[in-house]
Every structure is written in C-alpha cells, then in structure tokens.
Amino acid sequence: EAQVTQNPRYLITVTGKKLTVTCSQNMNHEYMSWYRQDPGLGLRQIYYSMNVEVTDKGDVPEGYKVSRKEKRNFPLILESPSPNQTSLYFCASSSGLVTGELFFGEGSRLTVL
C-alpha cells in the first residue's frame, strides 16, 4: 500500500530535549516536505526537499533541521525544542513537485512542556 509513515504519532517532551520525527514514503517520490498545523494559522511549510541531499527552507524553518540522505526518508529534527513548537506536524511527498498530487502522513502531535 502506498503511504507516508510518520513516527512517533504522539510525543510529549520537555524544553531543550532533542527529538527526531521520522518520515518514510514507499512511493519512490522525489519531493518531500514538512508542515506544521496550528489553529487559526492553517498549514505552514517548514522545510522541503526536491531530491536526495537537496533541502530548502519553507516559511517557518526556525528551530528545525532536516536531512535527506535517502530518497525514502526525510526526518525532522528539533535540536532544542521550545513550547512554541507544540503543534501537529505532517510529512508529505509527491512524485512531481508541480504536477503531482501531494500525499500526507497521518501526523505527529508534539507537545513541548
């Protein structure tokens, strides 16, 4: 089954404790992206990647890092989480950035205390 898989789905952590949210897709998509969703603000792009070893900042990259060492994986790293990073995070992938549909993972709800 074609899917985008995120882990963990739910996480409660404390300020400053590094964490990684993993994302993996099995559709051989070149394009992958991370979004955060907050009430009243909608979905905002954090980082995206056009291909292996190619990453670029989205609209809200501060406090986040990503890497794309393999085509299927695109982890999101919070080096020193802060409470304002409490949010619902989505990973997405697409076969073609411009013409392809965007497929989303189930989401990861992160709470930073």
Partner 1 sequence: KQEVTQIPAALSVPEGENLVLNCSFTDSAIYNLQWFRQDPGKGLTSLLLIQSSQREQTSGRLNASLDKSSGRSTLYIAASQPGDSATYLCAVRPSYNTDKLIFGTGTRLQVFP
Catalog residues that contact partner 1 under the rule CB under 8 A.
4, 33, 40-45, 48, 50, 56, 58-59, 90, 92, 97-99, 101-107
**In whole angstroms, what is the distance from residue 93 CA to residue 74 CA?**
10
Max CA pair span of the chain: 40
Bridge-based pairing state of the strands 108-112 and 10-13 = parallel
CB of 87 to partner 1, least distance (A): 14
CB of 31 to partner 1, least distance (A): 9
CB of 15 to partner 1, least distance (A): 25
Q: In the complex with partner 1, which residue's Cβ is closer, 20 or 103?
A: 103
Q: In the complex with partner 1, which residue's Cβ is closer, 77 or 97?
A: 97
Which residue type is seen at 100? G
User: Sign of the CA dihedral 98, 26, 57, 41?
Assistant: positive
